[in-house]
Amino acid sequence: MANELQGKVAAVTGAASGIGLASTEAMLAAGARVVVIDRDARAVADLCKRHGPAALPLVLDLLDAQACATLMPQILALAGQLDIFHANAGTYIGGDLVDADTLAMDRMLNLNVNVVMKNVHDVLPHMIGRGSGDIIVTSSLAAHYPTPWEPVYAASKWAVNCFVQTVRRQVFKHGLRVGAISPGPVVTGLLADWPEEKLRQARESGSLIEASEVAQVVMFMLTRPRSMTIRDVVMMPTNFDL
C-alpha cells in the first residue's frame, strides 16, 4: 500500500500499542504523516524514533478533560491539517456485573464513549471546513454479539456504534466518511482481564485476531473511492464460535 495516503495527515488515539499501533504503522507505511496520540510518553517517543519525522508525537491523557479539549489545536500545531482521525483509545472490563468496580466502570465508559464523542466533535469543524475527511472508530464485536462476561464493555460499544451511524448521516453531505471497525478478540493488552482458562482456550482454538489484521481493514476503509463509505466492518476469527 505504498504511497496510497501520500500527502495525508492522520491522527490516532491510543496509538502506542495494540490496534492503535498497528493502524499508525500501516498509515505511515502508506505515506501519511501520523500524529501519535497516547498517554504513555516513553512508548510514544520510542514509536516516533523508529519511524522518523512522519510520526508526530502528542502525549495526552484523554481522561483529563482540560487536556482532552486541546486535542485538535495540538494536532493542527503539529501537522497543519487533519485528513484522517482514528478514535481508537479504549479500555475493557469483563466479568459479572455484580463484581465490577464502579470507579473502573466510570473510567471505562468515559474513555470508550465520552472521549470518543468529544474527540469527534472537536475534529469535525476542521474537516467540514475542508470538505473532506475520514473518521474511523474502534468498536467491537461486542457491539453486535452481546456476551455474558462483558455487559459494561458491550454496552459502551453499542453506544459507540449508534454514535457512528448517526453522525455519519449528519456529515456525509460535507464530504466526510464515518465508519467503525468491530473486531472480535484481538491479541492486545486488553485481554489481560480475561480469565486465564478462557484465554488459553481461545489461543488453542485459533479464536483470536492479530492487531495487524485489523489495521489491514482500516486501510481498506480509507482507500475506497470517496463515493463509497464502509460504515461498519465486523471482523471475527473463523473459529470464533468453537
If DSSP codes are grouped into helix, strand and coil, which group holds residue 197? helix
Which among 127, 180, 89, 139 has a CA at the least distance from the CA of 8?
A: 127
Q: Does position 232 have pLDDT exceeding 90, yes or no?
A: yes
If DSSP codes are grouped into helix, strand and coil, which group holds residue 229? coil
Q: Is 145 a catalytic residue?
A: no
Average pLDDT, the chain: 93
Per-residue pLDDT at 190: 58
Among residues 153, 168, 176, 237, which one is catalytic? 153
Per-residue pLDDT at 120: 98
Cell of 149: 462476561
Class of the domain covering 9-185+211-234: alpha beta
Cell of 146: 452481546
Measured on CA atoms in the order 61, 189, 223, 175, is the torsion positive or negative?
A: negative
Please say whether the beta carbons of 20 and 88 come within 8 A: yes
Per-residue pLDDT at 185: 81
For the entire predicted model, the pTM comes to: 0.93
Query: 205: which residues sit within 8 A by CB, 6+ positions away?
Result: 239, 242
Cell of 42: 516513553
